[in-house]
Amino acid sequence: DAGVTQSPTHLIKTRGQQVTLRCSPKSGHDTVSWYQQALGQGPQFIFQYYEEEERQRGNFPDRFSGHQFPNYSSELNVNALLLGDSALYLCASSQGDTQYFGPGTRLTVL
């Protein structure tokens, strides 16, 4: 049984560009959450998707948007990239209380 997968592993973009990150949840999991982790910090919650709708959102601007597909996979989109968006982006899937994390996508904004 594959765990949570994310693509790509690494990404380099320049300021002002747009980026799309992808996540496939663990088999049987219907809920996907996205987190941003800056260097040396704990993950910060961005938003959570359930049944293709955004169920909860953290304190992130509208430049951060997402989508969940009928197969429960999800995308995170970030528009008008800023240098401060450089971080590790983690996806987590869940069916109950425990969240299972993917390996993350390392985004560098130059």
Partner 1 sequence: SQQGEEDPQALSIQEGENATMNCSYKTSINNLQWYRQNSGRGLVHLILIRSNEREKHSGRLRVTLDTSKKSSSLLITASRAADTASYFCATPPDTGRRALTFGSGTRLQVQP
Q: Give residues in contact with partner 1 (CB under 8 A).
A: 4, 31, 33, 35, 39-45, 48, 55-56, 58, 88, 90, 92, 94, 97-104, 106
Our CB check for partner 1 shows the closer of 20 and 95 to be 95
SS3 83: helix
Short-list 40, 83, 47, CA closest to 65: 47
Question: Minimum distance from CB of 95 to partner 1 (Å)?
Answer: 10
Burial profile 51-73: b = 16 or more Cβ within 10 angstroms, e = fewer:
eeeeeeeeeeeeebbbebeeebb
Nearest approach in angstroms of CB 13 to partner 1 is: 19
Task: Specify the residue, 16 or 52, whose C-beta has the smaller distance to partner 1.
Answer: 52
